[in-house]
Amino acid sequence: MGMRLLSLLRRRGDLYRRPFSPLSVLRSLVGPSPTSLREVPRDLGELLISRHCNRGMASSGAKNVRKKEVKKETGLGLTNKKDENFGEWYSEVVVNSEMIEYYDISGCYILRPWTMAIWETLQVFFDAELKKMNIRNAYFPLFVTQNVLQKEKDHIEGFAPEVAWVTRSGQSDLEVPIAIRPTSETVMYPYFAKWIRGHRDLPLKLNQWCNVVRWEFSHPTPFIRSREFLWQEGHTAFATKEEADQEVLEILELYRSIYEEFLAIPVIRGRKSELEKFAGGLYTTSVEAFIPNTGRGIQGATSHCLGQNFAKMFEIGFENEKGEKAMVWQNSWAYSTRTIGVMVMVHGDDKGLVLPPRVAAVQVVVVPVPYKDADMQAIFDACSATVQTLRTAGLRVDTDLRENYSPGWKYSHWEMKGVPLRIEIGPKDIANNQVRAVRRDNGTKMDIPVGKLAEQVGEVLSSIQESLYNTAKQKRDDCIRVINTWDEFIVALNEKKMILAPWCNEEEVEKDVKQRTKGELGAAKTLCTPFDQPRLPEGTLCFASGKPAKIWTYWGRSY
């Protein structure tokens, strides 16, 4: 295990270190005794600890000590199965894993520390990459006046119902209502116009990390469709279209990294159709993921070239090197907390969340497994030493020494929270100078010699990261259908597939496909035209119009 792999899995800061809890209670209940080897199956561990507690308490003679009794496994598992009731399963997972708490305003959710740790990991990566590109952070206000917002009225029109307004302060109505930003073009661009004068002021490349509000009316879903969400929005201005074009793709590549390298989710990079692009821009590129269980595509992040549309609207002009007046070329791009929802949907299973090691707040959890007559002090010492060794190697490790929960309960708890690797330490492990490691993704168990802890745990985490990606890619690829005719298209759509089809690239035809596939589950639309285009044999016809096909495009239902 090279340092490279370790540093890949390392997260900046040690947010999740906790001091060890006092062991005295358990120690006094179980008492030091000669090590008994693992003669009892691990699953019985919790029964044993429960018995020990009772015995210890009985001998202590104090009635109120009984309260320390080990909790039974109640209410820990999921009641819904991923393959049977996906929507309910998802809601249950995000809550039971302690990522989300529901809030009393529909479409608004509390993002708990388990979620924020993931968001912060993505932020640290992306922010560092932006700095390499000389893109600087700024912060613009949350509010925007009606006047400025409407400056953009051509494209805002379609979005207008989603804009939330502040109309009152205390008991008095505001003279003019103030909008809450749904995105910040109108907030920022008047100042771009002010700050950009000559070619020396270009490029102007800003990013902001913030929240935005879109008052959605369709069914809210944590992370995926919420009325307030966190994102970064990048807004840049260049002297030339070439520079803008290049940045669009550089940013898209970072979005690909976030999905594929951090969240272990395969995505397709491509261009949006005219109908699906950001109406205010010139062209839109995106990374598209797919959720096999629902058969829906999901736009993972977008990187737009705005062309000169906004420059004209907001009069963002400059004097070029020849002393002539020119308009800037602009881009805007964003990814949001939706990324985390996609991760839950793609990797989660019937035991709960499954976290890719690179984003997990806790990559390894160490659980002591007390057995009858075991030397508890030795077990706890081994747990502490394991934590120490792995933390020194740069991994994010926690230990669960709570004395009022059984090992079995802890296993379920950390499985629900998706911790990639569990290390169990019992008497037999101590006798053999090893630990038992259990993978969250596939349940594989292995014994790791103490002397090779850092090295082997690092390797296992890398292997989990890789295998999550490969499994997700296999499942995604199994859902892709390449079709040529309308009949094949309908069959594939009914089978909830992501469909790669030869298309004439005409807006009217896409509208027609939408119309013809309208139904309870929603209409089919284009997801993207992949940059990676298969060969299009001469004479290939559009699956929907029968006209000559120009491109291969992904179609499907989507979020």
What is the contact mask toward ligand 87F in residues 113 to 152, using x (rule: CB under 6 A)? Answer: ----------------------------------------
Site membership for ligand 87F, residue 156 (CB under 6 A): yes
Nearest residue (CB) to ligand 87F, 206 versus 435: 206
Binding segment for ligand 87F (CB under 6 A), chosen from 179-187, 263-271, 339-347, 390-398, is: 179-187
Q: Is residue 109 within the footprint of ligand 87F (CB under 6 A)?
A: no
The least CB distance from residue 204 to ligand 87F, in Å, is 15
**What whole-number distance in Å separates Cα of residue 268 and Cα of residue 286?**
8
CA 423/CA 430 separation, integer angstroms: 13
Cβ-based nearer residue to ligand 87F, 182 or 502: 182
Site for ligand 87F in 496-515 (CB under 6 A): none
Spatial neighbors of 9 by CB under 8 A, at least 6 apart, are 357, 358, 363, 394, 395, 458, 461, 462, 465
- Provide the b/e sequence for 338-374 (b: ≥16 CB within 10 Å): bbbbbbbbbbbbebbbbbbbbbbbbbbbbbbbbbbbb
Using CB under 6 A as the binding rule, whether residue 349 contacts ligand 87F is answered as no
DSSP single-letter state for residue 63: G
Encoded amino acid at 443, one letter:
G
Q: Does 285 bind ligand 87F (CB under 6 A)?
A: no
- Binding residue for ligand 87F (CB under 6 A) from 16, 140, 159, 191? 159
Shortest distance, CB of residue 273 to ligand 87F, whole angstroms? 15
Q: Quick check: 334 binds ligand 87F (CB under 6 A)?
A: yes
Among the listed residues 117, 94, 75, the one whose alpha carbon sits nearest the alpha carbon of residue 354:
94
| Smallest separation, CB 159 to ligand 87F (Å) | 3
For the window 23-52, what string marks contact with ligand 87F as x by the rule CB under 6 A? ------------------------------
Cβ 344 to ligand 87F, closest distance in Å? 22
The answer to whether the CB of 457 falls within 8 A of the CB of 365 is no
The SS3 assignment for 242 reads helix
Q: Which is nearer to ligand 87F, 137 or 533 (CB)?
A: 137
Is residue 183 at the binding interface for ligand 87F, with CB under 6 A as the rule? yes
Our finding on whether 255 is near ligand 87F (CB under 6 A) is: no
How far apart are alpha carbons 20 and 399 in whole angstroms? 8
Position 162 contacts ligand 87F (CB under 6 A): yes
Q: What is the DSSP string of 169-221?
A: ETTEEEEEEEEEPSSSHHHHHHHHHHH--BGGG--EEEEEEEEEE----SPPB
Cα separation, 254 vs 529, whole angstroms: 19
Tally of residues, the chain: 559
Cα–Cα distance measured from residue 533 to residue 29, given in angstroms and rounded to the nearest whole number: 67
Interface with ligand 87F includes 278 (CB under 6 A)? yes
Binding mask 204-233 for ligand 87F (x = CB under 6 A): ----------x------------------x
Give CA 222 to chain center in angstroms.
Answer: 12
Map the footprint of ligand 87F across residues 298-327, applying CB under 6 A: 302, 304
Report the residue number, 33 or 146, with the smaller CB distance to ligand 87F. Answer: 146
Which of these segments, 65-73, 158-166, 431-439, 522-530, binds ligand 87F (CB under 6 A)?
Answer: 158-166
Q: How far is the CB of 145 from ligand 87F (least distance, A)?
A: 14
Q: Residue 223 — left, alpha, or beta (φ > 0 → left; ψ -120 to 50 → alpha)?
A: left
Question: In sequence order, what DSSP letters do the residues of 455-480 get, joined into one string?
Answer: HHHHHHHHHHHHHHHHHHHHHHHHTE
* Given 182, 266, 458, 502, the residue binding ligand 87F (CB under 6 A): 182
Which residue ranges make up the site for ligand 87F (CB under 6 A)?
A: 156, 159, 162-163, 182-183, 185, 214, 233, 278, 302, 304, 332-334
